[in-house]
Chains A and B, each alone.
Chain A
Amino acid sequence: MNIVLSLKHEEQNFIAACIRKERWAQKKLYEDSYSKMMGVCLRYSNNSEDARDILHEGYIKVFKNISKYNPGTSLNAWIRRIMVNTSIDFYRKNTRRRTEDLENAQQKSTTIADADSQIGEKEILAAVQQLSPAYRMVFNLYVIEGYSHKEVAQQLGITESTSRSNLVKARLKLKEAISSKYTEYGE
Chain B
Amino acid sequence: MENNYFDDFIKKELEDIEVKYNPEDWDLMEERLEQEEKLRERIILIKGIEIALMLLLVFTITQFLPIGKSNIPAPPFKPNLNVISPQSLPSPMIEQSKSIDKIERQPTKVPLEKQPKTTERPKTIIFAKAENTINSSTEQNTISTLPVQTKAISTYSTVASIPIQATTPILKKEREENRTVPIVEKVEKIEKSTLSELDFDSPKVIMEDKMIMETEEIASVNDFGGFEVVDNTKRDIKVILPKTKKLRFGMYFRPDANIIMAPYKDEEIQSYKLLTDGYTGGVSFGVQKDRWEIETGLAYSFLSYKPKPISEVTSSAVDIKLQYIDNIEYNMLSLPVAFAYNFATVDDWKFYAKGGGAMNLVASAKVDKILHIVGESRLVDNVSPSYEVGLFTSDTQQNLLSRFKDNHYISANIGFGVEKVLNNRFGLFIEPTYSHTFFGAGLAPNHDRINRVSLNVGAKVTL
Chain B residues, Cβ within 8 Å of A56? 25, 28-29, 32
Q: Which among B4-12, B126-134, B239-247, B418-426 touches the partner chain? A: B4-12
Asked whether A24 lies within 8 Å of B383 as measured between CB atoms, the reply is: yes
Task: Determine the residue in chain B with the shortest Cβ distance to A119.
Answer: B13
- In the bound assembly, the distance between CA atoms of A171 and B9 in angstroms comes to 12
- Within residues 1 to 59 of chain B, which ones have a CB less than 8 A from any CB in chain A? 3, 6-7, 10-11, 13-22, 25-26, 28-30, 32-33, 36-37
Confirm or deny: A78 has a beta carbon within 8 angstroms of a beta carbon on chain B: no
Which residues in window 124-163 of B have CB below 8 A to A?
none
Name A30-78 residues within 8 Å CB distance of B: 30-31, 34-36, 38-39, 42-43, 52, 55-56, 59-60, 63
CB contact under 8 A between A143 and B33, given known A22-B387, A23-B385, A35-B20: no
Q: Is B393 an interface residue (CB 8 A)?
A: yes
Q: Is the CB–CB distance between A120 and B13 below 8 Å?
A: yes
Residues of A within 8 A of B19 (CB): 34-35, 38-39, 42
Say yes or no: is A128 at the interface (Cβ < 8 Å to chain B): yes
User: Other CB < 8 Å A-B pairs besides A35-B20, A55-B25, 7 of them?
Assistant: A23-B30, A27-B30, A39-B18, A43-B14, A52-B28, A56-B32, A60-B33
The residue of chain B having its C-beta at the shortest distance from the C-beta of A37 within the complex is B19
A144 at interface, CB cutoff 8 A: yes
B357-394 residues with Cβ-Cβ distance < 8 A to A are 368, 383-388, 393
Residue of A nearest to B393 (CB): A20
Contact with A along B233-259 (1 / 0, CB 8 A): 000000000000000000000000000
Task: Give the bracket for the number of chain A residues in contact with chain B.
Answer: 20 to 34
Residues of A within 8 A of B387 (CB): 20, 22
The 0/1 profile, CB within 8 Å of A marked 1, for residues 307-346 of chain B is 0000000000000000000000000000000000000000
Among B14, B386, B393, find the residue whose CB has the most chain A CB atoms closer than 10 A. Answer: B14
List which A71-89 residues lie within 8 A (CB) of chain B. none
Q: Is the CB of B386 within 8 A of A24?
A: yes
> B343-359: contact bitstring with A at CB < 8 Å (1 yes, 0 no)?
00000000000000000
- Chain A positions within 8 Å of B29 at CB level: 30, 56, 59
**Min distance, Cβ A61 to any Cβ of chain B, angstroms:** 11
Contact of A175 with B by CB under 8 A: yes
B25 and A39 within 8 A (CB): no
| B7-A143 in contact (CB<8A) | yes
B residues adjacent to A (C-beta < 8 A): 3, 6-7, 10-11, 13-22, 25-26, 28-30, 32-33, 36-37, 368, 383-388, 393
**Per-position 1/0 for A1-42, Cβ under 8 A of B:** 000000000000000000011111011001100111011001
Q: Which of A's residues lie within 8 Å of B, judged by CB?
A: 20-24, 26-27, 30-31, 34-36, 38-39, 42-43, 52, 55-56, 59-60, 63, 120-121, 124-125, 128, 143-144, 171, 174-175
Let me know if B33 and A63 touch, CB within 8 A: yes
B25 to chain A, nearest CB (A): 6
18 A-B pairs with CB atoms under 8 Å apart are A21-B37, A23-B368, A24-B383, A24-B386, A30-B26, A31-B21, A35-B18, A35-B20, A38-B25, A39-B14, A39-B16, A39-B19, A55-B25, A59-B29, A121-B13, A121-B14, A128-B14, A174-B10
How far apart are the CA atoms of A21 and B3 in the complex, in Å?
A: 46
Q: A20-B393, A36-B18 are in contact. Are A60 and B36 (CB under 8 A)?
A: yes
Query: Does the CB pair B21–A34 fall under 8 Å?
Result: yes
- Closest residue to A36 on the B side, CB-wise? B18
Label chain A's interface by main secondary structure. helix
Contacts of B393 in A (CB 8 A): 20
By the criterion CB–CB under 8 Å, are A171 and B28 in contact?
no
Contact residues in A for B21 (Cβ distance below 8 Å): 31, 34-35
Q: Is the CB–CB distance between B36 and A43 below 8 Å?
A: no
- Are B384 and A24 neighbours in the complex by a CB distance under 8 Å? yes
Q: Closest approach, in angstroms, between the C-beta of A142 and any C-beta of chain B?
A: 8
B residues within 8 A CB of A38? 18-19, 25
C-alpha spacing A121/B17, complex, angstroms: 7
CB distance from A50 to the nearest CB of B (A): 14
User: In the assembly, what is the distance between CA of A93 and CA of B139, in Å?
Assistant: 71
Residues of B within 8 A of A120 (CB): 13
Q: Which residue of A lies closest to B34 (CB)?
A: A23
What CA separation (Å) do A96 and B383 show in the bound complex? Answer: 42
- Inside 8 A of A143's CB, which chain B residues have their CB? 7, 10-11
Q: Is the CB–CB distance between A144 and B20 below 8 Å?
A: no
Q: Which residues of A contact B383 (CB under 8 A)?
A: 24
Evaluate contact between A39 and B17: CB separation under 8 angstroms: yes
Please report the C-alpha to C-alpha distance between residue A118 and residue B243 in the assembled complex, in whole angstroms.
94
How far does the alpha carbon of A91 sit from the alpha carbon of B32 in the complex, in Å?
21
Q: Is the CB of B385 within 8 A of A24?
A: yes
Closest chain B residue to A127, Cβ basis: B10
Among all A-B residue pairs, the 5 with the closest Cβ atoms: A39-B17, A23-B386, A35-B18, A24-B385, A38-B19
CA distance A59 to B25 in the complex (A): 12
Query: Which residues of chain A come closer than 8 Å to B15, judged between CB atoms?
Result: 144
A166 and B245 CA atoms in complex are apart in Å by 76
